[in-house]
């Protein structure tokens, strides 16, 4: 083994010393950061409200018209057609620039969050969750971190998790019992039962729905999402007399369409994230549950504790598990 490789291996081993794992959660209107200590406890570090530029970007990328090819590709043809765009992104990164204007906005959101808890280690890594916005992709999240010289930690979760996956992990769902044994961990995740999950992010600016069938807390960065963002249904519109009936109508419509292409089951997990005061609105939650029951979900388990931080906690858990996921316990630098 060369001296250079030996030094790199030593650097990677140094990076897995018992230090807190960091999780970031982006939402439509704010970001949060939490850490998982080596003893398994969590600490919620802080929240940063988004700029108008960030909120505008999220709204723009919510339009299906903004979708484009992005890795991982479903075919060689798609990879080929995306070569020009990837070449331009790569060129910008080699020049020390953000891969795109959207990546720069994401990095400007990420920077103050990382300032709340500087990441230690020679190869600093983090796991970042992001909202189910149809034209916001894993590569954007990873490139935003890389622009700030921070790696996106890999692991059994595969790609950076969307909010539904991170929150699922935050509740202790979809996790293996042997995270340090790569093969065993993956086998355990495959053996887990499927869970039909409806995620509702409810902030002052929007209500966002995302439906998915989850087994392990894993994200495969699919380009096609069962998701919908409603920017006329944020809590700023709660004063309207027909708000609750509109919530019920939108949920009924969304779940009915989603379930056309998903395994039907009467059991459903409802995960709610967003602003604390919004998620505590029992009337809104009851409207959502009633809509789900109307379309045949007779058993709805609601998970709504720590709504502002649960996704960041889940991301931190996945970050910690990712540190030991690779052979010989080495950290994947993510850069």
Residue 315 belongs to domain with CATH number: 3.30.420.40
- Which residue, 126, 140, 172, is CA-closest to 310? 172
Q: Are both 63 and 80 inside the same structural domain?
A: yes
Residues 157 and 231 in one domain: no
33 lies in the same domain as 126: yes
Per-position DSSP letters for 264-283, written without gaps between them: --SEEEEEEEE-HHHHT-HH
Residue 203 lies in a domain: yes
- Say yes or no: 224 and 201 in one domain: yes
For 133, the token pair is 């916005």
Is 76 within the bounds of a domain? yes
Can you give the pLDDT at residue 123?
Answer: 64
Asked if residue 142 and residue 240 are part of one domain, the reply reads: no
Look at the chain and report how many structural domains it folds into: 2
What integer pLDDT is reported at residue 330 of this predicted model?
Answer: 36
Supply the range of the domain harboring residue 32. 3-166+309-329
If asked whether residues 156 and 51 sit together in one domain, one would say yes
What are the Cα distances from residue 6, in Å, to 14, 110, 329? 12, 33, 15
Whether residues 52 and 107 share a domain: the answer is yes
Residues 21 and 144 in one domain: yes
Strand locations in the chain, DSSP E? 21-26, 30-36, 42-49, 125-129, 151-152, 195-202, 207-214, 227-230, 267-274, 299-303
| Residue 177, in any domain of the structure | no
Q: Are residues 73 and 156 in the same domain?
A: yes
- Using an 8 Å Cβ cutoff, are 324 and 179 in contact? yes
| 66 within domain boundaries | yes
Same-domain pairing of 318 and 286 = no
Q: Does residue 222 form part of some domain?
A: yes
Please indicate, yes or no, whether residues 246 and 284 belong to a single structural domain of this protein.
yes
Q: What is the pLDDT of residue 333?
A: 36
In a domain, 323, yes or no: yes
Dmax over Cα atoms in the chain, in whole Å? Answer: 71
Q: What local confidence, expressed as pLDDT, does residue 266 receive?
A: 67
Cβ burial, residue 204 (10 Å; 0-12/13-18/19+): middle
Report pTM. Answer: 0.90
pLDDT value, residue 210? 98
184: in domain: no
Structure tokens at 62: 């919510």
On whether residue 156 sits in a domain, the answer given is yes
Residue 271: strand pairing partners: 199, 303
Instruction: Output the tens digit of pLDDT for each of the chain's 335 residues.
Output: 445 555 555 555 555 457 889 999 999 999 999 999 999 999 999 999 999 999 999 999 999 999 999 999 999 999 999 999 999 999 999 999 999 999 999 999 999 999 998 776 666 789 999 999 999 999 999 999 999 999 999 888 999 999 999 999 999 999 999 998 889 999 999 999 999 999 999 999 999 999 999 999 999 999 899 999 999 999 999 999 999 999 999 999 999 999 888 776 768 999 999 999 999 999 999 999 999 999 988 889 999 999 999 999 999 999 999 987 653 333 333 33
Q: Are residues 66 and 150 in the same domain?
A: yes
């Amino acid at each position: 083994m060369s001296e250079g490789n030996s030094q790199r291996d030593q650097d990677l081993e140094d990076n897995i010393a018992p230090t807190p794992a960091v999780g970031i959660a982006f939402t439509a209107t704010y970001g949060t950061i939490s850490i998982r200590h080596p003893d398994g406890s969590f600490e919620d570090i802080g929240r940063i409200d988004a700029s108008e530029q960030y909120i505008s970007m999220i709204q723009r990328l919510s339009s299906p018209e903004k979708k484009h090819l992005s890795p991982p590709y479903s075919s060689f043809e798609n990879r080929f057609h995306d070569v020009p765009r990837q070449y331009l992104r790569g060129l910008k990164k080699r020049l020390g620039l953000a891969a795109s204007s959207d990546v720069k906005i994401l990095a400007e959101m990420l920077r103050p969050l990382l300032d709340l808890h500087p990441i230690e280690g020679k190869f600093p890594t983090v796991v970042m969750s992001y909202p189910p916005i149809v034209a916001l992709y894993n590569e954007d999240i990873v490139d935003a971190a890389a622009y700030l010289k921070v790696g996106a930690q890999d692991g059994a979760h595969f790609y950076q998790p969307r909010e539904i996956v991170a929150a699922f992990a935050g509740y202790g769902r979809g996790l293996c019992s042997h995270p340090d044994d790569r093969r065993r961990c993956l086998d355990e995740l495959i053996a887990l039962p499927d869970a039909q999950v409806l995620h509702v992010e409810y902030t002052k600016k929007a209500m966002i729905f995302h439906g998915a069938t989850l087994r392990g807390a894993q994200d495969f960065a699919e380009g096609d999402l069962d998701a919908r963002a409603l920017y006329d249904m944020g809590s700023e519109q709660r004063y309207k007399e027909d708000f609750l009936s509109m919530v019920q109508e939108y949920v009924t419509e969304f779940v009915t369409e989603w379930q056309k292409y998903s395994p039907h089951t009467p059991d459903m997990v409802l995960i709610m994230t967003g602003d604390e005061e919004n998620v505590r609105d029992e009337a809104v939650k009851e409207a959502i549950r009633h809509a789900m029951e109307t379309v045949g979900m007779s058993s709805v388990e609601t998970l709504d504790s720590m709504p502002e931080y649960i996704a960041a906690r889940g991301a931190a858990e996945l970050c910690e598990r990712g540190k030991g996921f690779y052979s010989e316990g080495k950290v994947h630098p993510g850069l």
